[in-house]
Amino acid sequence: MATSRVLGYLESRKNIAGGVCGLLGLVLTFTGAAGAYWPVVVAGLYGAGALVAPPERPEPPAFPDPSAQLDAVREDFGKLGAYLADVDLPPAPRARLTELLAALLEAGLGGRAARPGPRDVHVLSRAVRQDVPEAVDTFVRTRWWTRLSPGTEPPDRHLERQLTLLREEAERLASALHDTEARWQESHTRYLEDRSQ
């Protein structure tokens, strides 16, 4: 522990700045400008250099960028697909939602301009990891209870509405990403037109 602190100080900005100023003190000593008080001059210049040097700052933590987070969401989408294959679910709602989510995940949420932002990844992550599994699980459990008490509202309507809302959210995301990509394309066209003039 103490050894690492000593090594840390030896590599610090303060020690390097102090060492440079201390070398300046030695140059003054060899030129005769420091006189008999050369140890005080060298130590003083070292201390001054160490005091004026900027403090060490810790490196910011390296969090994964949204693209790396999107890879994890893709893996979870594979798990969700396996779960949906095992569940007795009407095929139409399943297909409508999973097709759009799959398209967004496979396309990497757009191209060069439409790189996934944290909000985009959050929307997809929440849909894949929470909203769709919860909607399907609730449907399956409610359907079981509905069989025991006929005449109640069928859970299919709620599932249909939930999946419609989730699909609308995914479509809004796709539309926003498309708009970003279209603006980038227009901007690039203007750049090329301006460059050719």
Whether the Cβ atoms of residue 127 and residue 101 lie closer than 8 Å to each other: yes
Q: What is the mean pLDDT of residues 74-81?
A: 87
Structure tokens at 152: 């109640």
**Percent of the residues in the chain that have a pLDDT greater than 90, as a whole number:** 2
The whole-number pLDDT of residue 113 equals: 45
pLDDT at 65 over 80: no
User: What is the 3 state secondary structure string of 102-122?
Assistant: HHHHHCCCCCCCCCCCHHHHH
**Alpha helix positions (H), 127-154:** 132-148
Q: Give the CA angle between residues 188, 190, 193 to the nearest 5°.
A: 110
Whether the Cβ atoms of residue 166 and residue 132 lie closer than 8 Å to each other: yes
Q: What is the mean pLDDT of residues 103-129?
A: 71
The whole-number pLDDT of residue 11 equals: 82
What is the rounded distance in angstroms from the CA atom of residue 25 to the CA atom of residue 182?
63
pLDDT grade for 67, boundaries at 50, 70 and 90:
confident
Q: What is the mean pLDDT of residues 131-144?
A: 86
Q: Which amino acid is at 76?
A: D
pLDDT grade for 107, boundaries at 50, 70 and 90:
low
Q: What is the mean pLDDT of residues 31-60?
A: 85
- What are 152-177's pLDDT values in tens digits? 777 888 888 888 888 888 888 888 87
